[in-house]
Structure 1
Amino acid sequence: MELNHHRKVRLPGGAARRALRFGLLATAGLGVIGTTTGAAQAAGFGSGPVQGIAVADDSAHTLANPAHESRFQDSFTVHQYGALFAAGVRNQATATASHCSAADPCRSVALSFQIVTMAGTNIHLNAVNLSRAANVHCPGCESLAGAYQFIVSTPRPFTLDAAAQRQLAVVHRKLDALGRSTASIADIRRQADVLAAQVAAILKSAAASAPKGPGVDALAQLEPQVTVHRVFDQS
């Protein structure tokens, strides 16, 4: 997949759109293959919305420079929301390398994983997933920004059980470990994709046990859906 430098990617359809169940929850980026603030963010599991409206804004930012030649940051947070009629979720990764020399280049890596669960049959969803990587007066430097946004939509509310949360915690630790890796930028990106695939599998398995929607015809009942948005930028 070719990369466009310094490219911002937004969901098609303007600032907001109407999500009529699962299919229309899709966005830009690669198809199916999170973060609150304060103590909940540190724990990795967000709290619920107020009166059926949810807002999540998560990010990872790095700046490498002569004082800090190698920088890495990841964000991995889960927001578990119940029944919603509206949600605005934003996820962003930004990596910048600045003013290092060709003889002593810098490396900057930012990876943000945002996981959101929500329930409803007619949700107004505004989902934005962005990445930006830039080398500023930095010959020979490397910058990588990767944003992964996982949206789990179910007809009725459910919560991730203890087993699923433990599995996600294992993935989070593996993501943290990438910060200690000396692997190439290309390999870091590949490993991040592998971890994203593991998250998607965990969420799909968990959502499969969610209560189904009402309906006379079982084939017409609404099914859980996991949508993944993936955006990378590299410089």
Structure 2
Amino acid sequence: MRNQANAVSAGCSADDDCRSVAVSFRIVTIAGEGTHLNAVNLSDAANKKCTGCQALAGAYQFVVSTPTPFTLDDTAQGQLADIHRRLDALTRFSLPAADLKSQVDGLATEVTGVLHDAVAHAPNGDAQPAVTLHRHLDGWPGR
């Protein structure tokens, strides 16, 4: 499983600066005891021949591990759809990078909460369900 966010700012100048932002959220589920997942989570932000530019990339991967398969109920799916809409809405604003990072981290926290609630109602086996967030940021201030 691979989750990746790439942002490149190129060809702008100090008089005509630009910003490139890439954010990726991915939810991966695995079921069964003794299963193993190689979850790759990467982000890369680059400024190419671009003075005064900013490139920001963030990859957020949520790994849900349960002893037996389960399905997200309509409530959880609705909550995730709402978070997705709010994440998409961030593309319409020119927030400072630190504020944007804070907003995206807040949405990631909400996703984690929805998934924790969902696995709390999943059938149990010998192992406890788990939700793990893998976050990789590049170009963000105060990562």
What is the TM-score normalised by the length of structure 1?
0.59
Q: Which amino acid aligns with 1:129?
A: N
Structure-to-structure mapping, 1:1-235, within 5 angstroms? 89-213=1-125, 221-234=126-139
Q: CA deviation at 1:205?
A: 0.3
Gaps of 5+ in 2: none
Q: Please state which structure has a larger fraction of its residues in helix.
A: 2
What per-residue deviation string (whole Å, max 9, x for no partner) do you get for residues 169-211 of structure 1?
0000000000001211111111000000000000000001110
Whole-angstrom CA distance in 2 between matches of 1:182 and 1:129 = 26
Computing the radius of gyration from Cα coordinates, the structure with the larger value is: 1
2:112 maps to a residue whose letter is: A
Gaps of 5+ in 1: 1-88, 214-220
Q: Kindly provide the amino acid, as one letter, of the partner of residue 148 in structure 1.
A: Y
Q: Distance in 2 between matches of 1:162 and 1:171?
A: 14
The CA distance in 2 between the partners of 1:143 and 1:106, in whole Å, is 9
Stretches (4+) displaced over 4 A: none
CA distance in 2 between counterparts of 1:158 and 1:125 reads 17
**Greater relative CO, 1 or 2 (CA 8 Å, sep 6+):** 2
Q: Number of residues paired by the alignment? A: 140
Structure 2 CA distance for aligned equivalents of residues 103 and 139 of structure 1: 9
* Matched-pair identity in %: 59
Q: TM-score if structure 2 supplies the norm length?
A: 0.95
Report the Cα distance in structure 2 between the residues aligned to 1:144 and 1:190, rounded to whole angstroms: 13
Deviation at 1:124, TM superposition (A): 2.7
